[in-house]
Structure 1
Amino acid sequence: MGLVLLGYFLGTLSFGWYGLFLGPIVVVLAVHFADKIFSDLVDDLLVS
C-alpha cells in the first residue's frame, strides 16, 4: 500500500498529471520484475 502511494507521489513529480496513472503502473511493474524475473536470474547465476 505504501509503495502505491509513493508511486502516486513520485509519479506526479516526475511525469506531471500523467504520473498520476504512470507512477503506480511503474511501481507495480518494478515489483513484479524484482519478484519474478530478477529472482529467476539470480537463481540461474547461482546454479551455474
Structure 2
Amino acid sequence: MKLNEHILLWNHVFIQVMDVRHKKMDKGEELRSYRLPVSAFLYMVRGSARV
C-alpha cells in the first residue's frame, strides 16, 4: 500500500494519536519518569519490552 493510501485510511479510523515519543534506551535501562497511559500502543524495533 502506498503512503497516500495509508493517509486516506488513517483519516477514517476511530482513534486519535495524542502523543508520540521516541526514546532510545540501552539494554537494562529503565524509564521511570514517564507514566504509560492505559490505552498506549508500544512499538519496538530490534528489541523487546516488558510493561
Higher relative contact order (Cα pairs below 8 Å, separated by 6+ residues): 1
TM-score, normalised relative to structure 2 = 0.24
Q: TM-score, normalization: structure 1?
A: 0.25
